[in-house]
């Protein structure tokens, strides 16, 4: 199964992607996670990407497309994969079409998760992530057992630098301008399914499973 998770920042793409990956045994490929790892390691790609990520702007298409071309050829993608945060522009979607065709692959579904703006701001400003393993929490909706400590690995929980109110507003503007045109792009393929992302995490996951079968 090849799946795209589409939706504004903070709608729960990462959260649902992780659950889908476990249930269906296919990897979740998050461009945001890959870029953050590069930033942490201080690689050339990471240094370049950080300039854009800190303000909530998009990393240039050619950088992202090159990165994804290599990733989907890896062994763990043989039985399919979940794209979380890619594509994010029409140019990236067109590049993905070419990539899939070149590799004899076919896109199955695009899940568009929809959440109102006020809730998005609350979710993102309340999000905490593990500095060691990357696990995602929310101070109210999905809190860790011990304040500031990751349940999974004991690592310290931190706030992402792009989860401040100011940067979140910019990320939402960028989403509207650059990524929303993808809704029409994928509606034309008849592969787009809209999911109401309001409700608790397991409730949303039940809706996702009903769509994926
Ligand atoms: P990226 O990391 O992809 O960020 P994003 O798309 O903005 O998405 P988020 O990770 O913020 O949100 P999410 O939808 O995964 O929500 P989550 O599940 O965590 O990208 C970061 C940056 O990298 C970009 O700004 C850009 O610079 C660059 N980049 C990445 N991809 C790129 C690309 N293709 N092209 C160019 N640049 C790119 O949930 C959010 C919070 O809500 C969590 O705290 C969670 O616990 C909570 N939550 C989740 N579900 C629920 C629920 N149902 N109810 C209540 N709370 C919930």
What confidence tens digit (pLDDT) does each residue in 63-92 have? 999 999 999 999 999 999 999 999 999 999
Q: Where exactly are the structural domains of the chain?
A: 2-118+165-212
Count how many residues are written for the chain.
213
88 lines ligand 1 (CB under 6 A): yes
Residue 21: name the closest of 198, 160, 209, 166 by CA.
209
Active-site pick, 50, 71, 160, 191? 160
The tens digit of pLDDT for each residue in 35-53 reads 999 999 999 999 999 999 9
Mutate which of 14, 33, 92, 140 for ligand 1? The one with the most ligand atoms within 8 Å of its CB, which is 14
Quick check: 192 and 179 in contact, CB under 8 A? no
Assign domain 2-118+165-212 one CATH number from 3.40.50.300, 3.20.20.70, 3.20.20.140, 3.40.50.150.
3.40.50.300
Per-residue pLDDT tens digits for 1-29: 999 999 999 999 999 999 999 999 999 99
Return all residues near 84 (Cβ < 8 A) that are at least 6 apart.
Answer: 5, 13, 14, 17, 28, 29, 30, 31, 32, 33
Give the pLDDT confidence of 118-164 residue by residue, as tens digits: 999 999 999 999 999 999 999 998 999 999 999 999 999 999 999 99
Query: For residue 114, which of 31, 6, 2, 3 has the smallest C-alpha distance?
Result: 6
Q: Which of 36, 88, 109, 128 is catalytic?
A: 88
Known catalytic residue at 160: yes
Whole-number Å distance between alpha carbons of 114 and 63: 27
CA–CA gap between residue 53 and residue 85 (Å, rounded): 13
Tokens of 124: 């993102």
* pLDDT computed for residue 89 by the predictor: 98
Cβ atoms of 63 and 38 within 8 Å: the answer is: no
Q: What is the residue with the minimal CA distance to atom 1 of ligand 1?
A: 32
Q: How far is the CA of 10 from the centre of ligand 1 (A)?
A: 5
Rounded-to-integer distance, Cα 85 and Cα 9, Å: 9
Ligand 1 midpoint to CA 31 (Å)? 10
208 within ligand 1 shell (Cβ under 6 A): no
């Amino acid at each position: 199964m090849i799946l795209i998770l589409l939706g504004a920042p903070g709608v729960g793409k990462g959260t649902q992607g992780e659950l889908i990956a476990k249930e269906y045994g296919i990897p979740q490929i998050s461009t945001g996670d890959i870029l953050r790892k590069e930033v942490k390691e201080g690689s050339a790609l990471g240094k370049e990407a950080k300039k854009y990520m800190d303000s909530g702007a998009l990393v240039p298409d050619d950088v992202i497309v090159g990165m994804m071309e290599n990733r989907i050829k890896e062994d763990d993608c043989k039985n399919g994969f979940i794209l979380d945060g890619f594509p994010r522009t029409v140019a990236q979607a067109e590049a993905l079409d070419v990539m899939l065709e070149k590799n004899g692959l076919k896109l199955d579904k695009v899940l568009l998760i929809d959440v109102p703006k006020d809730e998005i701001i609350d979710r993102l400003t309340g999000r905490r992530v593990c500095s060691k393993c990357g696990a995602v929490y929310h101070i109210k909706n999905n809190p860790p057992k011990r304040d500031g400590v990751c349940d999974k690995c004991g690592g310290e929980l931190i706030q992402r630098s792009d989860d401040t109110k100011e940067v979140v507003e910019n990320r939402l503007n960028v989403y509207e301008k650059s990524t929303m045109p993808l809704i029409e792009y994928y509606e034309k393929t008849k592969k787009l399914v809209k999911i109401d992302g309001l409700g608790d995490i397991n409730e949303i996951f039940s809706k996702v499973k009903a769509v994926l079968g």
